[in-house]
Amino acid sequence: MAGTITEKIIKEHIVEDIAAKIAPGDEVALKIDQTLTQDATGTMAYLQFEAIGIPRVRTEQSVSYVDHNTLQTDFKNPDDHRYLQSIARRYGLQFSRPGNGICHQLHLERFACPGKTLIGSDSHTPTAGGIGSFAIGAGGLDVAVAMAGMPYRIKYPKIVGIKLTGKLQDWVSAKDVILEVLRRIDVKGGVGTVLEYFGPGVKTLSVPERATITNMGTETGATTSVFPSDEVTKAFMVAQERGNQWIPLEADADVEYDELIELNLSEVEPLVALPHSPGKIKPVSEIAGLEVQQVAIGSCTNSSLSDLKIVANILKGHTIADNMHLTINPGSRQVVEHLIESDEMRYLVAAGARILENSCGPCIGMGGAPSSHAVSVRTFNRNFEGRSGTKDAQMYLVSPEVAAATAIKGVLTDPRDLGECPKIEMPQRFIINDNMFIRPLPAGESAKVEIIRGPNIKPLPDFQPLPDTLAGEVLIKVEDNITTDHIMPAGAKILPLRSNIPAISEYVFEAIDPEFPRRALEKGGGFIIGGDNYGQGSSREHAALAPKYLGVKAVIVKSFARIHLANLINFGIVPLTFKDPADYESIDLADKLEVIIGELQGDVKLRNRTKNNEIELTHSLSQLDAEILKTGGKLPWVKAKVVK
């Protein structure tokens, strides 16, 4: 039988007996080859891994990166980094020191392999799909469980084939390709799917270009995105001195996809995502001339060597506009070393760019905030309201070419107006310097390592089994497309609290209702009511863990985003949906509810004591999900399994 890339990788990694034919939506358990964490999610993931109680990671490759919390304004972040380094030494992980680079760029360069499964405690882990990995973003607890050698469970996805033909024109880039995909399917169109790229246009794209596309496929809600592994992939891996890890991997010629999207690369034009959604797409030419105060180039989407080479050569001989503030954060030290070697770093500096650390930086609100009411044009992947650190700023997402042209002109600029497009030359061999990775210790030595814990690292909360009936008030009612940034903000003030759940819980729903934490504690917990696509965006499990600490018992919405749904299950918060979405209108803030969940094997009844009525709720929980929830969450469930 003909197979897609997705089917081939899943078939090789399923670890439990399965039916002869799997249908989309069926639960499958996969062996995980690789994991990654970053420091904003990693501290909690490793606290959870410690709690499981095994002596060493059981994956082929696990890497702990430090790339988020690098703005060290006090002891909290550096203390966390010392904890992470000691954990890596103790349990057999690679450790990437602060300043080495952004986890997804580094993993693409040094570790990702075609045909391997990878889960990471960051929603943009699908970046590695550009090299042919089956790479999925997940909550930190799921990553901890995978490091313990247990399978990772997903709903078997629909496989959407995206057939690429043609070749990108000058001034058009891979970022425009994924913006075009978002223009067609929006931020919910990929839910429950894998976006699998194929066709003759694939061979015109480099691995970093493919990785840009798979990185931002996350914004469609897709489980992951994946490209074939071909001679282009092989050339990239050989240049990274990893040619021995390459394997060919592509879909069979006569394969049939569940859905098909055809995209002619020759017809793609420079695009822009308007505030405040990555799915709000227009051609740059339609809004060119908009005055811009800040341009920010980098992030895990667009910080590769090829991205910054084109930016450097566009900026060469120019000075940024008088009204302009330009920041650039390279994705890795390898990128920086090449820019220095080729003298292209000089072009960036001479043009007036601020060269920031090799980290996530402004993308997550960790420095680089724009001024009040500013328009900021960014090569990032998200433009949610307030994510930049400035609530009233307007964020526009664009390609590196558009960003560089805009920095020169001071207004949003179609780069095709600049004339001839610069040509760049990529190295035949990359500079390999892995001295900022600390390698795992042998098992005998690692057992002697002492774990270093700073005072900001607090123990995990307790997770108790769930009763058959949940009772409480509606603590908040929110609209459609609530992001994890709305639920649990990031930024320089809050990110350092990621290993301190009592402290970070004080900021839950800060941008929507600052009184929520106080009210939740006073009421002894209760319920959240929401609309469609609740929990889209980042994989941050704190958006479930902090509400759990505040006593949230269930979240009742029209629909959930995939990773947040899994995180709610992991931490014992019951995720329920309205059987009839119109019932959303019948529930108000402070209504007193009883939700009879029983064993969660069928539909659920909600009694509204305030309105004196009943409505039906439903869920997408498997029998195992229900078992995990009733146990109190995944951590007590896994610990029980490990003890057995």
Q: Active-site positions?
A: 67-68, 122, 382, 538, 540
Q: Which two tokens stand for residue 327?
A: 């920041």
Q: β-strands 281-283, 271-273: how paired? A: antiparallel
Give the C-alpha separation, 423 to 619, whole Å: 53
Beta bridge partners of 552: 526
512: closest CA among 592, 595, 589, 593? 589
294 SS3 class? strand
Say how far residue 582 (Cα) sits from the centre of its chain: 31
332 SS3 class? strand
The residues near 635 (Cβ < 8 Å, ≥ 6 apart) are 48, 51, 52, 141, 460, 463, 570
Give the C-alpha separation, 469 to 143, whole Å: 30
DSSP state of 280: -
Burial label for 392, CB within 10 Å (0-12, 13-18, 19+), is exposed
Instruction: Judge whether 117 and 96 are in contact, CB under 8 Å.
Output: no
DSSP state of 581: G
Whole-Å CA distances, 323 to 144, 211, 577? 46, 33, 48
Q: Which stretches does DSSP call E strand in 214-306?
A: 224-226, 259-264, 271-273, 281-283, 294-298
Q: How many helices (H) and strands (E) does the chain have?
A: 22, 26
Q: Which stretches does DSSP call E strand in 128-175?
A: 134-137, 152-155, 158-165
Give the C-alpha separation, 391 to 369, whole Å: 10
Q: HSE (CB half, 13 Å, CA atoms) of 85?
A: 15
Give the C-alpha separation, 95 to 86, whole Å: 9
> Do you know the residue count of the chain?
644
Give the C-alpha separation, 288 to 285, whole Å: 5
> Diameter of the chain by CA atoms?
73
Q: Which two tokens stand for residue 562?
A: 């995939």
Instruction: Judge whether 516 and 569 are in contact, CB under 8 Å.
Output: no
Phi, psi of 12 (to 5 degrees): -75, -15
Taking the C-alpha atoms of 145, 301, 298 and 278 in order, what is their torsion angle to the nearest 10 degrees?
A: -110
